[in-house]
Amino acid sequence: MLCLQTPTNTAWLDVAAGNIIAVMKDHAHCEKKAAMNALYLLAQYSEHDALVREMITVLEEETAHFKLMVGELAQRGHSLGRDKGNSYAKQLAALIRPNEPKRFLDALLVDALIEARSCERFTLLAGCEAIPADLRGIYHALMTSEEGHYLTFVRLAKEYFPEHEVDMRFHELCGEEASIVRALPNKPAMHG
């Protein structure tokens, strides 16, 4: 993804491929949280028609991804289990400025970044020969879908804020995201 300032450490892919069930469980929870987030944004900013329309679509797609991954886990004899949390997303959420309208802008841009990083990691998983071919096919499809969500969040930011303000803030947040990613411990999780 063009906006990402640092690539994922190659060590993460080795850990992920060697612990694919753990990655699948964490990934399913990520899809659940992406759906919850779309519903949250829709509820919080329901005066914006374009946002409402787009978030209904994102909600449907993330819910479908969640259902797909829970099904894939079940097929392999695994349940969803408890959500172990996502420190990457928490660190990004902490960068959202508290007062409106900056809060709205930052929320859209942080979501765009999470989608972009997810897309990058699905690309790595889809291309990894140590991962079963059927799963790689799923990761390939998800890569395209999450890229679409990334574009949606950036488009919405530019719909409601001046382009130069969006570009400036996004550049700052991309730098912060790169620092967070460089410090990740390479755990078997989507953003580990």
| Binding region for Fe ion (CB under 5 A) | 31, 34, 62, 65, 115, 146, 149
Question: Please, which residue, 11 or 53, has the CB nearer to Fe ion?
Answer: 53
- Tell the smallest beta-carbon distance from residue 160 to Fe ion (Å): 20
Question: Please, which residue, 18 or 71, has the CB nearer to Fe ion?
Answer: 71
Smallest CA-to-CA distance from 4 within 189, 185, 179, 187 is with 179
CA angle, 56 as apex, 51 and 60 as ends, to 5°?
Answer: 145
- Tell the smallest beta-carbon distance from residue 162 to Fe ion (Å): 26
Smallest CA-to-CA distance from 24 within 62, 70, 64 is with 70
Distance CA 124, CA 15 (A): 12
- Tell the smallest beta-carbon distance from residue 74 to Fe ion (Å): 18
Question: Please, which residue, 121 or 149, has the CB nearer to Fe ion?
Answer: 149
- Tell the smallest beta-carbon distance from residue 164 to Fe ion (Å): 26
Question: Please, which residue, 20 or 113, has the CB nearer to Fe ion?
Answer: 113
Signed CA dihedral, 122, 123, 127, 133: sign only:
positive
